Amino acid sequence: MKDKEVGAKIINLQETIPEEQFVFMHDIRDGKSTWSRKTIDYFELSGANAIDTIEEFTRLVHPEDVERWKREVDEAFSLRSKDLFSTFNIKNKQGNYVRCTMKGKVIIAENGEPAFYTGSLTVHGNELAKDIVTDLPKLQMYLNDVHSVKCSRRECLTMAIEVRKFHNINNLCGHNFGNKVLYELAQYMVEQMGNYGRVYRMDGTIFTFLFNDSDVEHAESVFKKIREECAKFELDGRMLNLQIAGGALYTKNPASGSNVILSSLLAILEKAKDADSYELQLSNDEMQASDNANIKMLNEIKTSIQNGCEGFYICYQPFVSTMTGKIIGAEALVRWKNDAYGEVAPGRFIPQLELHPSFYELGLWILRTAVRDAKKLLDKIPEFFINVNMSYSQLERGCFKHEVVRILEEEDFPKSHLQLELTERCRNLDMRYLKEQLEFFRSHDIRIALDDFGTGNSTINLLCDLPINCVKIDQTFILHILDQSNNQIVVNSTVQCAKQLGMDVCLEGVENGEIRDFIGRYSVNYHQGYFYSRPVRFESFMDFLSDTWRTDRINLIKEDSRDMFSANSIVSMIPGGFFIYTADDKERIISVNEILLEIFECDTLEEFYDLTGGSFKGIVHPEEYACIEKSINQQIANNNNNRDFVKYNIITKKGNVKKVRDYGHLVRNDNDVDVYYVFLVEDR
Ligand code: C2E
Ligand code: CA
Ligand code: CA
């Protein structure tokens, strides 16, 4: 077949693919693109089939996306990048921006030269449609409108309101009633705004307002009216004392884009909530400048996402089976690292970023990376499963579920070994919609876990209504289980209930041996917590499982009474060469296990003490000690309990030099000197 015929065939495929998909062919040799008829109609392109893609599309791509889009397409078409994968907003013929993803691949001609770039454009679900619960426009529309306001007026007044503790209403009166309240409330907000601007629904119970003018007093009066209405809100004969928090931002700064404005606005709202403030928190450009650091960081993070999720990495925290005491799965927890900011924990960016469209890409990257890593573990532990957190903003997109399946297929990962965690805020989605999404996953054998059960919007009803495989009881219950009998009651009844419904149960927040011993009374499937392991990089996680970690149970042969965490139980859970030493200048070794003796090729404890002098200093190769000591002192000075492993050499009794990895965990003890827990593995 001639190249051109191949092209025509591909374009004809258009008739067989779904509504929201468009195909194109780009002839690399003459730089012309051919689009299907459907595409030309949808975007109202200039009639002819062959068009110059860059020119035609540039005028339609959203101004905030256009530079990046051009770069990505240019790189692909000039064959500098292998695959085209670009997500951006584009205007359709109704003049509305729709979000879409363009993908493509090179086709090689008969003569072996690259001939075509063939690709598809997928218009994503209904981000621009109205929210089904409140009938309000949603996030993407807000961003578009803020952008237009800034282009036309160069200043902008916007407000965010969050209805607080809304889960109480869902808990007491059910989700349907909760949805009705949100609908009524939204209508009241729209009424108050009148012709002064527009109201939008964001994540959960957050609403944003965009004013047509910049009269701050007016925003305050709208806020006040809504606050008063909420306090005496009545529906179906029920009095609801709804409390709200609000923040407003007035900006004259034309440099900041709509995403920056939204991040700033949400940061002000967070402040209002933290301060438990009854009043509207106001901020303007000058005030913003003083606490812009966080927003700047968020913007850096967004840029990292655009650069192929550069700087992100995933740590894995194991699930330990209560049946076998062995690692059976892990949760993927994302982190971001950058020269200027160091390592940044997700708590500092996920809540704000989740709302932002770029989070979608990051979410897919996390999923792909996690299953790719997990696949490598399946050889070692055939039943291994990987948990990946799922956010409201991902589930909200109808296409998310298909992308999950696609990724699993592309990565050739067995679907039943993925467990998606439904994080707290997902539970604010419309129940019917949520159930449909989860049922889709279940129909593909993908498991669902309910994360942080017991916090926010969690009721026993949820367990009955949703297709759930596993309940993760929130760590706050477990962290304070020893002295709070209420927590014991909640955990006990939730475990009973979940078990009767045939679900697995995981207890999170197993922070120390005392907690571990106590929760042994609950018949659950898995434990997760610092006691077993902190979240660690994949490399370290592999070490836990690799041959160098001895997996047989082994007892401590020397234990010290200062050992507050019952070292014996740790040793039986995470095996390896293990010792504890005081973190004072004497560095005295106070507990040792048998495997450590084996690593040092000693037959008895006495031989080991003779060899090392009973101190940490005697463990490390003399030439390396100064360097290791420096890095450890730095860790203590920085107050970090954990560090990445350090590598050094040791000299055994038989005079062999062995390379080892040292995973150290510093434990601060009020009554006594600090102690270091160390696992040592041979670095083969
Ligand atoms: P989460 O899903 O509830 O994850 C568990 C968090 O508890 C992790 O914090 C973990 O380090 C911490 N943790 C585990 N064991 C213990 C313990 O024994 N004691 C204490 N005090 N804490 C423990 P991390 O990694 O900072 O993550 C915080 C939250 O960020 C996560 O909470 C999750 O909501 C969110 N997150 C993290 N990664 C992702 C992601 O890839 N996607 C999404 N959507 N959210 C994520
Ligand atoms: Ca989680
Ligand atoms: Ca959790």
How far is the C-alpha of 664 from the C-alpha of 631, rounded, in Å?
12
Residue 1: the pLDDT is: 44
Best residue among 389, 516, 532 to mutate for probing ligand 1, ranked by most atoms within 8 Å of CB:
389
Q: How far apart are CA 427 and CA 429, in angstroms?
A: 5
Kindly state if the Cβ of 345 falls inside 6 Å of ligand 1: yes
Looking at residue 118, its amino acid is T
Query: Averaged over 14-30, what is the pLDDT?
Result: 67
175: its two tokens: 């989700």
The finding on whether 475 has its CB within 6 A of some atom of ligand 1 is yes
Ligand 1 within 6 A of CB of 47: no
Kindly report, residue by residue over 154-168, the tens digit of the pLDDT. Answer: 788 999 999 998 877
290 CA from centroid of ligand 2 (Å): 33
Which ligand 1 atom is nearest residue 346's CA?
A: 30
Whole-angstrom distance, CA of residue 285 vs CA of residue 214:
13
Instruction: Give 677 Cα–ligand 3 centroid separation in angstroms.
Output: 26
Is the alpha carbon torsion for 526, 546, 567, 666 positive or negative?
Answer: negative
Atom of ligand 1 nearest to the CA of 394: 44
Regarding the beta carbon of 343 and ligand 1, being less than 6 Å apart is answered no
393 C-beta closer than 6 A to ligand 1: no
Cα of 276 vs centre of ligand 1, distance in Å, is 25
* Ligand 1 atom at minimum distance from 332 CA: 41
Residues 6 or more apart from 180 whose CB is under 8 A from it? 235, 236
SS3 387: strand
> What is the residue with the minimal CA distance to atom 4 of ligand 1?
333
105-119 mean pLDDT: 76
Question: Which atom of ligand 1 sits closest to the CA of residue 452?
Answer: 3
In ligand 1, the atom with minimum distance to the C-alpha of 370 is: 41
Residues sharing a CB contact under 8 Å with residue 499, sequence separation 6 or more, in sequence order: 505, 523
Residue closest to 456 by CA, chosen among 434, 427, 480 = 427
- pTM of whole model > 0.75? no
Total Cβ atoms within 10 A of residue 379: 8
Choice between 370 and 138, residue whose per-residue pLDDT is larger: 370
Kindly indicate the confidence band of residue 563, based on its pLDDT and cuts at 50, 70 and 90. Answer: very low
Lowest mean pLDDT among 153-157, 349-353, 570-574: 570-574
Judge whether 88 and 121 are in contact, CB under 8 Å: no
Q: Which of 450, 452, 414 is nearest to 434 (CA)?
A: 450
Contacts of 649 (CB under 8 A, 6+ apart): 620, 621, 624, 657, 658, 659, 660
Distance from the CA of 265 to the center of ligand 2, in angstroms? 26
Average pLDDT over residues 381-393: 94
Task: Quickly tell me which residue has 């109480």 as its tokens.
Answer: 168
Q: Which two tokens stand for residue 639?
A: 């107050």
Q: Are 309 and 336 in contact (CB under 8 A)?
A: no
Ligand 1 atom nearest 391 alpha carbon: 44
Q: Whose CA is nearest to atom 3 of ligand 1?
A: 452
Rounded distance between C-alpha atoms, residue 539 and residue 541, angstroms: 5
421 Cα–ligand 2 center, Å: 6
pLDDT in tens, 598-609: 889 998 888 999
**Top-confidence range, 40-49, 212-221, 581-590:** 212-221
- Residues 432, 421: Cα–Cα separation, whole Å: 18
> How many Cβ atoms from other residues are within 10 Å of residue 440's Cβ?
17
Side chain identity at residue 25, one-letter code: M
- Contact (Cβ atoms closer than 8 angstroms) between residue 491 and residue 485: no
Confidence band (pLDDT; 50, 70, 90) for 427? confident
Our answer on whether the CB atom of 456 is closer than 6 Å to any ligand 1 atom is no
Segment 254-312, tens digit of pLDDT: 556 787 788 889 888 988 887 777 899 998 876 766 556 777 888 899 999 999 999 99
The average pLDDT across 344-365 equals: 89
Q: What percent of the chain has pLDDT over 70?
A: 86
Predicted local distance difference test score (pLDDT) of residue 559: 61
Q: Among residues 637, 583, 639, 590, which one has the least CA distance to residue 614? A: 590
126 has which bridge partners? none
Q: Do 262 and 150 touch, CB atoms closer than 8 A?
A: no
Reference 650, options 614, 611, 603; nearest CA is 611
Those residues with Cβ within 8 angstroms of residue 478's Cβ, 6 or more apart along the chain or in another chain:
487, 491, 507, 508, 509, 510, 511, 515, 519, 529
CA torsion angle for 138, 143, 149, 151 (degrees, to 10)? Answer: -150
User: Nearest ligand, CA of residue 317?
Assistant: 1
Spell out a b/e string for 27-39, using b for 16 or more CB atoms within 10 Å of the CB, else e.
bbeeeebbbbebb
Interatomic CA distance for residues 20 and 10, integer angstroms = 17
**Contact predicate 453/477, CB 8 Å:** no
Which 3 state secondary structure label does DSSP give 230? helix
pLDDT, residue 551, reads 46
